[in-house]
């Protein structure tokens, strides 16, 4: 893990990604809805264990009707369920996001809280979702570890971890703080297009010289 040129790795990945990734968007597509802390929060909940294309479609339909907590909390549950039907676990997510809207409206005055403890008190909001909201909505120095960040960090050799929480802790020790917020942004796009789950596309990789997996695979040839 030590000795990896972290800044060089991030620079190269950032250079190849000319658009921002965003929770709930399909491969970096610019969302048609307004980016607010609330839409960021709900999109990130919808994106859990789901493909970006499906999450984007659900978010687009949902926010065209209910873009604020005050509106969503009063929406008929069956209609919310129908609007987000393209996502996995849509029935349970429909209940959760409507309850999130109610809590945000009633307990936080309609404003999404910034602190992790308050965010994680909301239904279906765990550590990953909370840090993504902090990073994308509030531009805080956090590391949002989703499946792409966890997979790529281990493949490269930036970390040796079994869980996203372990990955987050090790990255915080390895990556300069002023670059924490970049990690999810560049790794998501890279993981969608190049360092894909089943098979990394080594021939397209701009950081393969620094990657433990590439070096191991190249040695088998």
Q: What is the pLDDT of residues 108-123, one digit of tens each?
A: 999 999 999 999 999 9
Domain assignment present for residue 99? The answer is yes
What range does the domain containing 43 cover?
Answer: 37-138
Mean pLDDT (whole number) for 4-33:
73
Put residue 152 in one of left, alpha, beta given phi > 0 → left and psi -120 to 50 → alpha: alpha
Structure tokens at 144: 């949002």
- pLDDT (tens digit per residue) in 151-180: 999 999 999 999 999 999 999 999 999 999
Q: Which pLDDT band, with edges at 50, 70 and 90, does 23 fall under? A: low
**CATH code (residue 180):** 1.10.1670.10
Check pLDDT > 90 for residue 220. Answer: no
pTM of the model: 0.85
pLDDT reading at 53 higher than 50: yes
**168 and 196 belong to one structural domain:** yes
Rounded CA-CA distance 95/221 in Å is: 51
- 120-146: average pLDDT: 95
Query: Cα-atom radius of gyration of the chain, to the nearest Å?
Result: 18
For residues 210 and 156, give the distance between their C-alpha atoms in angstroms, rounded to a whole number: 7
Residue 113 lies in a domain: yes
């Amino acid at each position: 893990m030590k000795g990896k040129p972290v800044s060089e790795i991030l620079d190269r990945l950032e250079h190849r990604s000319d658009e921002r990734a965003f929770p709930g968007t399909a491969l970096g597509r610019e969302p048609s809805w307004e980016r607010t802390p609330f839409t960021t929060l709900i999109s990130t909940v919808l994106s859990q264990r789901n493909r970006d294309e499906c999450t984007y479609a659900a978010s687009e339909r949902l926010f065209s009707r209910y873009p604020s907590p005050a509106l969503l909390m009063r929406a008929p549950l069956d209609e919310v369920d129908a609007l987000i039907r393209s996502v996995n676990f849509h029935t349970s997510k429909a209940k959760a996001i409507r309850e999130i809207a109610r809590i945000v409206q009633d307990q936080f005055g309609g404003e999404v809280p910034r602190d992790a403890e308050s965010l994680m008190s909301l239904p279906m909001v765990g550590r990953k979702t909370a840090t993504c909201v902090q990073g994308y909505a509030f531009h805080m120095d956090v590391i949002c570890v989703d499946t792409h960040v966890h997979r790529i960090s281990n493949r490269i050799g930036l970390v040796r971890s079994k869980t996203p929480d372990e990955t987050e802790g090790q990255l915080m020790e390895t990556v300069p703080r002023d670059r924490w917020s970049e990690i999810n942004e560049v790794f998501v796009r890279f993981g969608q297009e190049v360092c894909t789950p089943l098979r990394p596309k080594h021939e397209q990789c701009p950081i393969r010289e620094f990657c433990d997996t590439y070096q191991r695979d190249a040695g088998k040839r």
